[in-house]
Amino acid sequence: MLATSSIDQLAGTLRGGVIRPEDPTYDTARAVWNGMIDRRPALIVRCSGIADVIAAIDFARANDLPLTVRAGGHGVAGKAVSDGSVMIDLSTLTSVEVDPKAKIARVGAGATWGMVDHETQAFGLAVTGGVDSRTGVGGLTLGGGMGYLARSFGLTIDNLLSAEVVLADGRVVTARGDGNEDLFWALRGGGGNFGVVTSFTYQLHDVGPEVMTAQVFYTMDDVGDALIHYRDFMTQASDEVGCFALLVNVPPVEGFPEEQHGKTALALVACHSGSLEDGEPELALLASFGSPMLSVVAPMPYATLQQSFDAGAPDGGRFYWKAGYLDELSDEAIKTLVDRVDPLPGPYSNVFFEPMGGAIARVDPSATAFPHRNATFGLGISSGWADPAADEAATAWTRALHEAMAPFTSGVYSNYLDWDDDDRVDDTFGANRQRLQEVKGIYDPDAVFSTNRNLAPTGAE
């Protein structure tokens, strides 16, 4: 048990503050997006800047306590919080500074993508970010960074210019292409294994404020053929098109046939990052197939599009994920999925394909720590429900579908790993694992940052 005097001493050094288990704000501060996660850190250090981060690391090391780092707290596995740990809470580091002339943004690690989009879109600029506006910048970036703009401009890490990092020994360094290059390489896809990143600097691109979008929904009767159409469309699509295919529950809202409300359906949700004039005819081809129950091709503010999935995954819902990559979305893979996906195990569930290729594939797999450049699609099985009594059934459903799809998949995106996926380190990092472990040995030889994934320094496994 931590001595009150030592916690008081730590609190006296901070500009932010400490939150203890007995404090009235403790339960709120320890909570993360996924309601399945219920862990109790020994202490939460709410950091207002780099000095507070250094103090928190020193305190954890002096008291032999594990460390976790919370940015947005939106990771499904809940790695931001751990029993008996010191949580470094970066959620107040939300500054977003945009240089519209240089098309650069410097972003605090606690910011969300909604905050980033709000500031950058004032200048008609954007960088690849997640498709849920509440997702934290820190976790998404360090894992790689997928989103609608990835095929146009690359992953988030492909647009990262530098990162400010507090190391395990308290040193503060800047990692970039011409300084601490090995660390910069590892941060781009290697996760939070090397230090606490307090800010990121990104290259921005001309996007919006309006982009051409498509939303096309098909009933289960047409899902198989519509997925084949989706696959073939993406094979020919320009790099400006980012289109997700999702098996979802039809929402009970105007525009959808009432008899389909609550039933499983296929949604194709697309964004064209180029001009509206170029985007409309290309997305019209996507929407031209079959007889969809709903089909809309229209301009939309990019920031609004980025918020369109938020309501379907509410804070505190219960979520469990499995994922993989496909070299090919074959007819057999489609049939296997369609035969097993209906009904979904909860109101917040979806199974999705996200397209790779384009700018993602033009980066060598060894150029950053993210190794999955040559996949054609990512597969995510994202089960979500509200009632704790459904935990066992929903988890079993997810695992069964993942197992059925296993013959068609390989590898996994680190940001989609759940709490029971710690044995999938090779699947996550592939041929880049050994180099990541070597970098770990240089910057964190004592494995102070060890609660993310089991990426031990070389020789320490």
Domain 96-206+431-443: which CATH class? alpha beta
Query: Which pLDDT score is estimated for 427?
Result: 95
Say whether pLDDT at 53 is over 70: yes
Residue located via tokens 């893979």:
333
For the chain, the residue count is 461
Say whether pLDDT at 459 is over 60: no
Q: Which CATH architecture has domain 12-89?
A: 2-Layer Sandwich (3.30)
Split at pLDDT 50, 70, 90, the class of 453 is low
Rounded to an integer, the average pLDDT of 436-459 is 85
Rounded to an integer, the average pLDDT of 268-287 is 98
The identity of residue 114, as a single letter, is G
Split at pLDDT 50, 70, 90, the class of 460 is low
Query: Which pLDDT score is estimated for 1?
Result: 65
CB 204 within 8 A of CB 98: yes
Give me the residue spans of the domains in the chain. Answer: 12-89, 96-206+431-443, 210-416
CA distance 354 to 364: 20
Query: Which pLDDT score is estimated for 455?
Result: 77
Topology (CATH level 3) of domain 210-416:
Vanillyl-alcohol Oxidase; Chain A, domain 3 (3.40.462)
pLDDT in tens, 71-128: 999 999 999 999 999 999 999 999 999 999 999 999 999 999 999 999 999 999 999 9
Split at pLDDT 50, 70, 90, the class of 5 is confident
Instruction: Map 59-95 to HEC letters.
Output: HHHHCCCCEEEECCCCCCCCCCCCCCCEEEECCCCCC
Instruction: Calculate the average pLDDT of the chain.
Output: 96
Split at pLDDT 50, 70, 90, the class of 454 is low
Lowest mean pLDDT among 63-67, 191-195, 452-456: 452-456
Split at pLDDT 50, 70, 90, the class of 2 is confident
pLDDT in tens, 131-173: 999 999 999 999 999 999 999 999 999 999 999 999 999 999 9
